[in-house]
């Protein structure tokens, strides 16, 4: 009985299917333009503000080194991707205008990075985040970056080790953890930073250096960060300051911190490698004054000692190195703090949130004027405890005789 009903209903369904319309949400995989990276810029065209949507689309036939592609005699020298830009009054319109330039439907689900142009960032990134959040095919794990300069040139830069630039960038973002001068930030985090009144947004920065200059290598560079206030870009952090911020927000994974040589002041620096770092932020109110205590715990190892004969296993040397290390870290943190408090007046550290959690009533009074009044004058005590655990494969530093 049920069986017969199923069969009849399937017939009915098929009739409806064929009668109502063709194929609805169906899209054949080969008719998709698989976008791997997106750049959004704000440009002026004929005096009008327009969004420029740049997409990097992979060409699967050239990328998939399979037989099917090879058999049909691929050119070989062609780039395996296409970068194309379109204009529109809104981002979505610009995205849709893409259809006027290419033969395939835009498919954004596999977008790995979204690069925001500097000009757009200064005007406000709310449209971009809104676009990403509302559109159902974007991943929430898409990485966000701010380009120094326009975003489209970043995507047009030649790919490095990977075949597609966007993939290159997204892998770089992950890889950069080993230096801790930049950090991966996914859309979800950016959105929650933006929505919180007690913390301001900060996005990693990407720089495209087309020409070499004074010994600086060319290519894409991933370091530093863009500081926002509300959703508007207010300035940049240098790589060191970025790490300073990362210490406080527990984002440091690894990296190299150079410290002076104990007992031998000079140009030479000992490298220490960060192996573990944690931090805690505790707000407290003493005598009606709000004080934030930041405590950073770091563990590291010695990487290279350019001081012949120095014995890193000697307790005094270790103690001194640890002191220097703590000082170096403290300096980075303070640099970041100073930038944020004095120059940008933007609470990128999320101190406001900690106050909110610990003193909800106090926070209620401060919330409105936090960034302008309270945060810049906030007393932040930074305590760093650094310890060196390992010295590597050798004992005393190599001494040529």
Enumerate binding residues for other proteins (CB under 8 A). Answer: 1-6, 8-10, 12-17, 19-21, 24-30, 32, 34, 36, 58, 60-64, 66-69, 71-72, 107, 109-110, 112, 133, 136-137, 139-141, 186, 188, 191-192, 195-196, 353, 356-358, 360
Find, among 85, 182, 187, 86, the residue nearest to 128 by Cα.
187
Nearer to other proteins, 168 or 353 (CB): 353
Least Å from the CB of residue 103 to other proteins: 12
Contact 376, 349 (CB under 8 A): no
Burial 22-40 (b: 16+ CB within 10 A, else e): eeeeeeeeeebbbbbbbbb
Least Å from the CB of residue 343 to other proteins: 27
What is the residue whose two structure tokens read 């489209």?
152
Number of H helices, E strands in the chain: 13, 13
Nearer to other proteins, 202 or 329 (CB): 202
Nearer to other proteins, 129 or 391 (CB): 129
Least Å from the CB of residue 9 to other proteins: 6
Q: How far apart (Å, rounded) are the C-alpha atoms in residues 274 and 302? A: 9
Least Å from the CB of residue 173 to other proteins: 14
Q: Are strands 219-229 and 202-209 parallel, antiparallel or unpaired?
A: antiparallel
Alpha helices of 176-216 — where are they, by DSSP H? Answer: 187-195
Would you mind telling me the total number of residues written for the chain in this entry?
401
Find, among 350, 343, 164, the residue nearest to 250 by Cα.
350
What are φ and ψ of residue 298, in 5° steps? -130, 145
What are φ and ψ of residue 161, in 5° steps? -75, -35
Least Å from the CB of residue 311 to other proteins: 42
Nearer to other proteins, 132 or 388 (CB): 132
Least Å from the CB of residue 66 to other proteins: 6
Please give the DSSP secondary-structure letter assigned to residue 31: G
Least Å from the CB of residue 370 to other proteins: 16
What is the residue whose two structure tokens read 């990296």?
255
CA distances from 331 to 166, 349, 375, 383 (A): 34, 16, 19, 11
Nearer to other proteins, 281 or 388 (CB): 281
Nearer to other proteins, 20 or 77 (CB): 20
Nearer to other proteins, 34 or 333 (CB): 34
């Amino acid at each position: 009985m049920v069986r017969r009903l199923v069969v009849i209903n399937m017939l009915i369904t098929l009739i409806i299917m064929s009668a109502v319309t063709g194929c609805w949400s169906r899209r054949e995989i080969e008719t998709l333009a698989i976008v791997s990276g997106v750049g959004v810029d704000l440009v002026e065209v004929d005096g009008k503000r327009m969004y420029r949507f740049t997409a990097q689309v992979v060409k699967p036939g050239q990328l998939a080194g399979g037989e099917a592609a090879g058999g049909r005699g691929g050119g070989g020298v062609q780039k395996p991707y296409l970068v194309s830009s379109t204009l529109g009054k809104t981002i979505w319109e610009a995205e849709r205008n893409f259809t006027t330039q290419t033969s395939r439907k835009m498919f954004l689900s596999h977008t790995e990075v979204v690069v925001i142009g500097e000009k757009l960032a200064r005007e406000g990134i709310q449209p971009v985040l809104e676009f990403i959040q509302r559109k159902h095919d974007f991943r929430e794990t898409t990485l966000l970056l701010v380009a120094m300069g326009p975003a489209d040139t970043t995507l047009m830069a030649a790919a490095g080790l990977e075949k597609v630039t966007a993939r290159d960038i997204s892998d770089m973002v992950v890889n950069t953890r080993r230096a801790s001068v930049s950090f991966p930030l996914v859309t979800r985090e950016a959105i929650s930073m933006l929505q919180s009144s007690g913390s301001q947004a900060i996005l990693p920065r990407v720089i495209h250096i087309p020409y070499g200059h004074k010994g600086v290598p060319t290519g894409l560079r991933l370091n530093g960060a863009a500081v926002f206030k509300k959703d508007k870009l207010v300035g940049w952090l240098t790589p060191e300051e970025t790490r300073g911020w990362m210490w406080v927000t527990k984002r440091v994974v690894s990296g190299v911190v150079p410290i002076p040589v104990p007992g031998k002041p000079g140009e030479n620096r000992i490298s220490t490698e960060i192996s573990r770092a944690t931090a805690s932020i505790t707000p407290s109110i003493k005598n009606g004054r709000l004080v934030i205590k930041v405590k950073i715990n770091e563990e590291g190892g010695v990487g290279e000692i350019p001081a012949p004969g120095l014995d890193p296993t000697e307790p005094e040397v270790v103690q001194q190195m640890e002191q220097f290390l703590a000082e170096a870290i403290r300096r980075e943190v303070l640099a970041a703090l100073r930038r944020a408090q004095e120059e940008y007046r933007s609470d990128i550290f999320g101190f406001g949130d900690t106050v909110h959690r610990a003193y909800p009533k106090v926070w209620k009074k401060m919330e409105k004027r936090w960034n302008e009044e309270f945060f810049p004058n906030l007393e932040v005590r930074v305590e760093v405890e650094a310890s060196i655990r390992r010295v590597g494969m050798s004992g005393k530093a190599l001494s040529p005789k």
